[in-house]
Structure 1
Amino acid sequence: MAAPRRWKKILYEDQSVDDNYVDSSFLDELKKNLCTRKYDYWTVVRASGVVTQQISSVCIFVIVFIYMDNKILSAENLCISVLTMTVLGYIINKLPVRKSLSFSEKSSSRTILDDLKTLLIFTGFSYGLSPVLVSLTETISTDTIYAMTTIMLLANLLFHDYGATEAAIVSQSLSLNAALFASVCLASRLHTPWHAFATVTFAVQIFAVWPVFKRNLMQSIPASQPVLTVLLGMFAFLALLTVSIPAAILFGLVHLFINFVCPAWLTSLQPYKNNIYGPWDEATIND
């Protein structure tokens, strides 16, 4: 008697079986956890700092608004602080010590005159539109403004680029626009056009300029990331204590949960990963 024909994984030949038939050799090519990435706890702790840094930045922005609304912080002092930090950051950016400290290859080729023109254009438009911002939401209730601000700041945290640029949910433009919209909402509840101008300018600095500079600084000096996490967290916590003790306690708990509990949770779940690979996967071309 003729030996039975060995089944082949092909469709162009009639083998007298259904198209979805497989024999026991089908699972011979089964492989597990080929691309599993093993995480170190303290590495994940350091990496999680980018999340709490953004949360701290949002808290600092809200606290600055509360200080201005309660007339604890003047618009002049805020503008001086913003200008000082901008000049200091610009000087660090222009230092020839490390090229990676520059915001980008394109920005590094710009001259000081180009940057000064951009600053003057932004300052002129912002200051010119400040009287409009103050009266922009007069017909909208304050509760609605605060609700819209909360939603926009949450959107900023949700869509912010934390380093995973390939993630589908990441959208730098959406995150920045949400933060600027929130700043416009809050600026419309302040006392004078000068206050509105200072608030919007500070929002641009903390939500647009600061994340880019911080990212490049951490790429150049990786050891600076935990330092920034601690400094921003402590500053936001101490500032929150002056506004609301329960809010400060909640901020501290969230900070500890994200920085220490979540990394431990992630590393503890790694042994349970079970990614399988086999002949059912999409074919790939190897160079």
Structure 2
Amino acid sequence: FPDNYVDQRFLEELRKNVHARQYRYQAVVFQSGAVVQQLCSVCVFVLTWWYMDAGMLSPQGLFGAALVSSLLGYVLFDTVDGGAGRWASGRTRWADLKSTLVFAAFTYGFSPVLKTLTESISTDTIYAMSALMLLGHLIFFDYGANSAIVSSTLSLNMAIFASVCLASRLPRSLHAFVMVTFAIQIFALWPMLQKKLKARTPRCYVGVTVLFALAALAGLATVSSVGAVLFASLLLAISCLCPYCLIRLQLLKDNIHGPWDEAEIKEDLSRFLM
């Protein structure tokens, strides 16, 4: 046969959209809650820093509120699954308490260093670095997708780096200590609780997401009404408009498969690697 020979039955094996996924709007909206949660976390963190820098929030008040919320979250974390996760990990409450005390003592001891760490760097540079780090935190955060770009460790480190940069611009070392501690709570502990709520009690997860978004919007409205409107538009676009666009675009997919596809070896070849 010539090189350009095509059998008459060549197109009979044509298949379209073999691996296309069918999405439901409610399911996509539910999954978008992770993105909304993280955007609100960044918003709450920046607002908290702004309130402390403006002298409208004392470090003692923030530390007390964070301590109470952490205790409530700790109890809720164990209550959601009846302690099954703790039993599987073999970690005791005494071990958790020791880790907390060590972290608090270590951070408090180094808070004067954190306060003076960036004295030689201009404030504009600090703000720019913090914005880039928080943006990177949002990009690399684990939203539940199996992708190479996901890196929980990198995402958390970028958020902590941003918190250290911003904390260094606060009035006293106590402010820096409370700010870094709050960053650990909202960027490390809060997502862990949300993931467990999402897996165990979806309705509770949706309710917490809505309340958290409303709280972030209310706090932002006290600083800038225009910013609150823009942020609300962003959240609505992510949670409502983007899922709709995804489902509509799925109808336009036209992937073709046939004899021209690359060969796939489905046989188990592990015996040849022995």
Give yes or no for the alignment of 1:33 onto 2:17. yes
C-alpha distance in structure 2 between counterparts of 1:284 and 1:139, whole Å: 59
Q: CA deviation at 1:241?
A: 0.8
C-alpha distance in structure 2 between counterparts of 1:104 and 1:17, whole Å: 68
Q: Is the 8 A contact 2:80 2:200 kept in 1?
A: no
- Of structures 1 and 2, the larger Rg is shown by 1
Q: Name the residue aligned to 1:178.
A: 158
Higher mean alpha-carbon deviation, 191-200 vs 26-35, is at: 26-35
Q: Name the residue aligned to 1:122.
A: 103
The change in CA–CA distance for 1:97 and 1:215 in structure 2 (over 3 A counts) is closer
Superposed, 1:185-264 pairs within 5 Å as 185-264=165-244
* Cα shift readout 1:127-176 (whole Å, capped 9, x = no counterpart): 01100011111111111100100000000111111111x21111111110
Give yes or no for the alignment of 1:86 onto 2:70. yes
The change in CA–CA distance for 1:33 and 1:193 in structure 2 (over 3 A counts) is same
Q: Name the residue aligned to 2:255.
A: 275
Q: Name the residue aligned to 1:113.
A: 94
Q: Is the 8 A contact 1:32 1:276 kept in 2?
A: yes
Q: Name the residue aligned to 1:157.
A: 138
Q: Name the residue aligned to 2:35.
A: 51
Q: Is the 8 A contact 2:78 2:86 kept in 1?
A: no
Q: Is the 8 A contact 1:103 1:216 kept in 2?
A: no
C-alpha distance in structure 1 between counterparts of 2:159 and 2:194, whole Å: 17
C-alpha distance in structure 2 between counterparts of 1:23 and 1:220, whole Å: 55
Q: State the SS of the aligned residue for 2:202.
A: coil
Q: Is the 8 A contact 1:75 1:198 kept in 2?
A: yes
TM (norm. structure 1) is 0.87
* Cα shift readout 1:23-61 (whole Å, capped 9, x = no counterpart): 333333221122221112222222212111110010000
Superposed, 1:14-25 pairs within 5 Å as 17-18=2-3, 22-25=6-9
Q: Is the 8 A contact 2:80 2:197 kept in 1?
A: no
User: Matched residue pairs, number?
Assistant: 267
Q: Is the 8 A contact 1:103 1:213 kept in 2?
A: no
Q: Name the residue aligned to 1:4.
A: none
C-alpha distance in structure 2 between counterparts of 1:104 and 1:258, whole Å: 37
C-alpha distance in structure 2 between counterparts of 1:59 and 1:104, whole Å: 35
Which residue identity lines up with residue 128 of structure 1 in the other structure?
G
Higher mean alpha-carbon deviation, 229-238 vs 36-45, is at: 36-45
Which residue identity lines up with residue 133 of structure 1 in the other structure?
L
The change in CA–CA distance for 1:159 and 1:141 in structure 2 (over 3 A counts) is same
C-alpha distance in structure 2 between counterparts of 1:28 and 1:286, whole Å: 26
Give yes or no for the alignment of 1:138 onto 2:122. no
Q: Name the residue aligned to 1:13.
A: none
Give yes or no for the alignment of 1:70 onto 2:54. yes
The change in CA–CA distance for 1:123 and 1:223 in structure 2 (over 3 A counts) is same
Q: CA deviation at 1:285?
A: 1.2
Q: CA deviation at 1:94?
A: 2.8
C-alpha distance in structure 2 between counterparts of 1:103 and 1:135, whole Å: 39
Q: Name the residue aligned to 1:6.
A: none
| Bigger proportion of residues as helix | 2
Q: Is the 8 A contact 2:134 2:159 kept in 1?
A: yes
The change in CA–CA distance for 1:93 and 1:226 in structure 2 (over 3 A counts) is closer
Q: CA deviation at 1:225?
A: 2.9
Q: Name the residue aligned to 1:95.
A: 79
